Structure 1
């Protein structure tokens, strides 16, 4: 096998990951490998541990056991901001923006560290052409150029989620984690956000938690099913859809709920 045909190393590797809160074991030994450039969905019933798994990966919770590696480098014990600077960025279930700042200012803030701005009081960000150009480029990517100078708090729900996705990608991360990006949206809003996710994560690794099966099967290259803190199946969408264990534990009920 030549160097050009060799498979790329995993972007994210999880091995033996566990998390307990007191006597309650929430994550029960998760093993998962997600390839660079892959779009991977994690699905499962409410209470399965999906958000806890996200929090373990991104450093919000320390694991009780096991390891998480980002591009081969172990990130256990690192603070969330350190993991972010290593190339992993996430969004949250609840929209997390600065509502009184303009749309442009929200995106510009998220660019500061990657553009070399540190904790100094003499850098005048308003005078930085690079920051302005970078923020405007992201606004164009997320289709919010026309809303540039509005307070972020007046955007529609779907536009706020789009802005949060823009903030998530602004630092240049190559692994993007989205936690229920289309929750609470109408069909038209969902279509808008799905098209946006597909565009802004091109050539990046996408890991998402999502309950809308149409979104999952439309976006994901592979799917993992988490039930009671354990992954019961991982595979391509059709493999997961036809898996009897998945049908029994989750997918049948989830698909019925959408109709």
Structure 2
């Protein structure tokens, strides 16, 4: 089974260490939750893996192929950025044709959450509507591994639940690394969790460790376990 292997990622800004010898891996059929405080470097790490951010050093491999840049990772790794990235003055149906191969674009053309927007221009959609289109396009790309940065941003609770179930369904054929301020859904969705703090990434074997690390308060952890 194909595996995304990320090792020895180091990144500094103005002599401040953001990432220090970070290791993370993800297999198909796995959702990896990446958590940490704001500004801890989660987005930076995902951008480095995808290739839009330079690292001081990195080693990224999918299967036996070493990924040095975006071109190397084409059809292997795709990334959903925090900010909207689809062109505005183009109809959604045309955007889907531009971004996806025919075998997968037809899935979106028949999706009940996409159908109402096919003939609308992207600029006429709300932030949440744009986010749904973006997520589905990224997930249905040819990439084997999907990096999702703040997928729940601006999305209604109903659509958030839909996205969660959609990821669960799609992980049978893909691997996911996901980070979001909505940490509760990330923690519940993830098969495994890693925590980023002070440049160091720690694998979480028990959710109680997130309390010890100061990421969750004891009351939040207790309430989540009761749910």
SS at match of 1:177: strand
TM-superposed deviation, 1:141: 4.3
SS at match of 2:138: helix
Q: In 1, Cα distance between the equivalents of 2:133 and 2:195?
A: 28
Alignment partner, residue 14 of structure 1? 6
Asked whether the equivalents of residues 227 and 249 of structure 1 are also in contact (C-alpha less than 8 Å), the reply is no
Rate the CA distance shift 1:53–1:98 in 2: closer, same or farther, 3 A. same
> Going by fraction, where is helix more abundant, 1 or 2?
1
Deviation readout 1:139-168 (Å, 9 max, x if unpaired): 334731232111122223222111101221
Alignment of 1:42-57 (within 5 A): 42-57=34-49
Task: Indicate whether 1:196 and 2:166 are aligned.
Answer: yes
Q: In 2, Cα distance between the equivalents of 1:61 and 1:87?
A: 17
Rate the CA distance shift 1:66–1:136 in 2: closer, same or farther, 3 A. closer
Deviation readout 1:77-124 (Å, 9 max, x if unpaired): x2x2441x241111110121122211111111102xxx5xxxxxxxxx
Q: In 2, Cα distance between the equivalents of 1:251 and 1:213?
A: 10
TM-superposed deviation, 1:253: 8.0
Alignment partner, residue 218 of structure 1? 188
Task: Indicate whether 1:252 and 2:217 are aligned.
Answer: yes
TM-score by length of 2: 0.86
Q: How much is the aligned-residue C-alpha RMSD, in angstroms?
A: 2.5
Alignment partner, residue 4 of structure 1? none
TM-superposed deviation, 1:197: 3.0
Alignment partner, residue 88 of structure 2? 99
Matched residues, number:
223
SS at match of 1:46: coil
Task: Indicate whether 1:187 and 2:152 are aligned.
Answer: no
Question: Any stretches of 5+ residues in structure 2 without a counterpart?
Answer: none
Asked whether the equivalents of residues 176 and 201 of structure 1 are also in contact (C-alpha less than 8 Å), the reply is no
Q: In 2, Cα distance between the equivalents of 1:188 and 1:169?
A: 19
Higher Cα Rg: structure 1 or 2?
A: 1
TM-superposed deviation, 1:200: 4.0
Task: Indicate whether 1:73 and 2:62 are aligned.
Answer: no
SS at match of 1:93: coil
Asked whether the equivalents of residues 142 and 163 of structure 1 are also in contact (C-alpha less than 8 Å), the reply is no
TM-score by length of 1: 0.76
Question: Any stretches of 5+ residues in structure 1 without a counterpart?
Answer: 1-7, 116-130
Asked whether the equivalents of residues 213 and 254 of structure 1 are also in contact (C-alpha less than 8 Å), the reply is no
Alignment partner, residue 127 of structure 1? none
